[in-house]
């Protein structure tokens, strides 16, 4: 029995613009076949066991020609697999989705079309340009800009579209811009007509240039405008000056490396992207289970004998809870010790377990914690934490007479990285910032590069650190710390980055 092929519009670039139906199918299909303009972030939503196949075309170079893509879809469906066929924008708007659908019908393969947000509307909107507006025009057209200018006869009726339609949106046309401009002016469109070029529309690296039909070719050549770019022609372009919301965000154009562990990075990453940053997920830490649970199990079983239970991170809370669930232990077994949580997020994680938090220190340094806890002489203290962590807190508590048991709740390991991408950004002179949210993110980041590569990065990037301990580690590693928040939290770090960017 054949599988089913879903022709899915992946949207114009911003992964948040995928439709609910499209996302549902990406998550459920056994195979995902995707194009160059489909945002790779959408692939993170695929099943862990999904087969991911890239068939994109970039700069005229085909990974697979169209006929081979058609054969691939038919063959994979013949294996009984359901296929999410991701196409940039909408599959039926210059996406060759109709051709693929015809081939599937010929082969007897069932298919479904899932429309997507097309770039002609979305990229224009993200550039501050409504494609229709009552004061400008009530008509619009989508036109291919990829027509071969050497053909004897154009399939486009230039004299009709030049004067008969208010807003013209040309897809994939930047290489043919002189040809397009010349034909519009010959067809009767005023040379003073406003024009916008939008490159990588709806993404955090979007660029927009404006001019008129008589100036836009020179502007494009001077600015070296390259695909993928959209051409928008019409009076609606003048509204950009007033309606440019996307590129006006406080971090727009700033490239920021998020070195946090992937499991904790999503909220931080999303917040930076909402503020306009091109945030690159670059996890330097991955949390995994300890090699042995024995020490943590013994601590859990004797929890009632402790005076204080100190959680230094959300990870420590998460792994302790996981162990309780996996072994069928009752969380009420933790009743007895007073609980200290380092940081608001850690306190929230503890509270969500139904455990009362006795203390959240104002400072995250050992001295600040000790000042809040008070006299610990003779007290028994349990600290579940990462296998390798700073010894300052246990040492200070022990020096004050406490009996401290430090047990491993989880380990941190080095994940796969996007090292080449980070180096390319730094070498390309991009306005890049690296964020460090713990000392371990610093040391792991450093270990990923050669000494020469690290010096190259350190000479070109800005650094944002979550707090003084992390900042000290960064400076010892040779970095200059440019941003450190007054409140040592992710929210505080985001606010400090925005303030720094505004000051610059």
Dist. CA 228–CA 295, nearest whole Å:
56
Q: What Å distances lie between residue 446 and 236, 243, 449, 454, CA to CA?
A: 49, 43, 6, 7
- Taking the C-alpha atoms of residue 397 and residue 38, their distance in angstroms, rounded to an integer, is 53
d(CA 383, CA 317): 11
* Token pair 């945030």 in the structure block, residue: 279
Classify residue 399 by its DSSP letter: H
CA distance 37 to 40: 9
Helix (H, G, I), strand (E, B) or coil at 294: helix
DSSP string of 81-95, one letter each residue: --EEEEESB-TTSSS
For the chain, helix, strand, coil in percent to 5 are 40, 20, 40
DSSP states of 296-315 as a string? Answer: HHHHHHTGGG-SEEEE-SHH
Separation of alpha carbons 103 and 109, rounded Å: 9
Cα separation, 422 vs 293, in Å, equals 36
159 is catalytic: no
Catalytic member of 4, 57, 81, 322: 57
Candidates 140, 172, 432, 433; catalytic one: 172
Select from 23, 156, 185, 3 the least CA-distant residue to 79: 3
- CB–CB of 351/340 below 8 Å? no
Point out the catalytic residue in the list 14, 35, 90, 432.
Answer: 35
Taking residue 294's Cβ as centre, other Cβ atoms within 10 Å add up to 11
> Could you tell me the two tokens for 410?
């989880």
| Distance, CA of 203 to CA of 192 (rounded, Å) | 29
Q: Is 172 a catalytic residue?
A: yes
Which DSSP string do the residues of 52-67 spell out, in sequence order?
A: EEE--EETTEESS-HH
- Contact, 201 vs 162, CB < 8 A? no
What's the first-to-final CA gap in the chain, in angstroms? 61
Distance in angstroms (rounded) separating the CA atoms of residues 91 and 68: 17
> Is 35 part of the annotated catalytic residue set?
yes
If we measure between CA atoms, which residue out of 182, 277, 168, 292 comes closest to residue 232? 168
Count of residues making up the chain:
504
In whole angstroms, what is the distance from residue 445 CA to residue 258 CA? Answer: 11
Say how far apart CA 407 and CA 73 lie, in whole Å: 52
158 contact partners, CB below 8 Å, separation of at least 6: 183, 184, 186, 187
Residue 87: C-alpha distances to residues 46, 55, 359, 371, 433 (Å): 15, 10, 52, 58, 32
Annotated catalytic residues are 35, 57, 172
């Amino acid at each position: 029995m054949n599988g089913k092929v879903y022709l899915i519009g992946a949207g114009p670039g911003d992964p948040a613009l995928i439709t609910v139906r499209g996302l549902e199918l990406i998550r459920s299909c056994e195979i995902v076949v995707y194009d160059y303009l489909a945002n790779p972030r959408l692939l993170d939503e695929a099943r862990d066991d999904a087969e991911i196949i890239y068939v994109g075309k970039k700069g005229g170079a085909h990974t697979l020609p169209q006929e081979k893509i058609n054969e691939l879809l038919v063959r994979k469906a013949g294996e009984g697999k359901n296929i999410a066929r991701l196409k940039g924008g909408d599959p039926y708007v210059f996406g060759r989705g109709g051709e693929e659908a015809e081939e599937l019908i010929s082969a007897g393969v069932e298919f479904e079309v899932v429309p997507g947000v097309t770039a002609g509307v979305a990229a224009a909107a993200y550039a501050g340009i409504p494609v229709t507006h009552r004061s400008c025009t009530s008509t619009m057209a989508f036109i291919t800009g990829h027509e071969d200018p050497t053909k004897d006869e154009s399939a486009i009726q230039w004299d009709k579209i030049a004067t008969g339609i208010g807003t013209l949106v040309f897809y994939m046309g930047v290489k043919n811009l002189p040809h397009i401009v010349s034909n519009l002016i010959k067809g009767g469109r005023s040379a003073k007509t406003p024009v916008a070029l939008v490159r990588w529309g709806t993404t955090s690296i979007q660029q927009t240039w404006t001019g008129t039909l008589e100036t836009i070719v020179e502007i494009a050549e001077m600015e070296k405008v390259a695909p993928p770019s959209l051409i928008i022609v019409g009076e609606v372009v003048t509204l950009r000056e007033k309606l440019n919301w996307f590129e006006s965000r406080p971090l727009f154009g700033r490239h920021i490396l998020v070195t946090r562990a992937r499991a904790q990075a999503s909220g931080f990453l999303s917040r930076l992207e909402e503020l306009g940053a091109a945030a690159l997920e670059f996890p330097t830490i991955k949390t995994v289970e300890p090699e042995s649970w024995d020490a943590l199990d013994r601590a859990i079983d004797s929890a009632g004998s402790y005076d204080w239970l100190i959680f230094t991170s959300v990870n420590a809370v998460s792994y302790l809870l996981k162990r309780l669930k996996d072994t069928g232990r009752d969380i009420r077994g933790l009743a007895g010790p007073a609980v200290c949580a380092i940081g608001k997020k850690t306190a929230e994680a503890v509270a969500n377990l139904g455990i009362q938090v006795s203390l959240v220190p104002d400072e995250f340094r050992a001295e600040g914690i000790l000042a809040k806890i008070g006299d610990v002489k003779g007290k028994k203290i349990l600290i579940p934490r990462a296998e390798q962590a700073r010894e300052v807190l246990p040492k200070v508590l022990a020096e004050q007479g406490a009996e401290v048991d430090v047990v491993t709740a989880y380990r941190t390991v080095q994940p796969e990285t996007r090292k080449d991408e980070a180096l390319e950004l730094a070498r390309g002179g991009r306005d890049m910032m690296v964020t460090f949210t713990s000392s371990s993110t610093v040391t792991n980041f450093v270990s990923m590069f050669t000494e020469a590569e690290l010096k190259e990065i350190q000479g070109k990037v800005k650094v944002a650190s979550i707090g003084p301990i992390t900042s000290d580690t960064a400076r010892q590693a040779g970095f200059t710390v440019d941003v450190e928040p007054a409140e040592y939290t992710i929210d505080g770090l985001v606010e400090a980055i925005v303030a720094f960017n505004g000051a610059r």
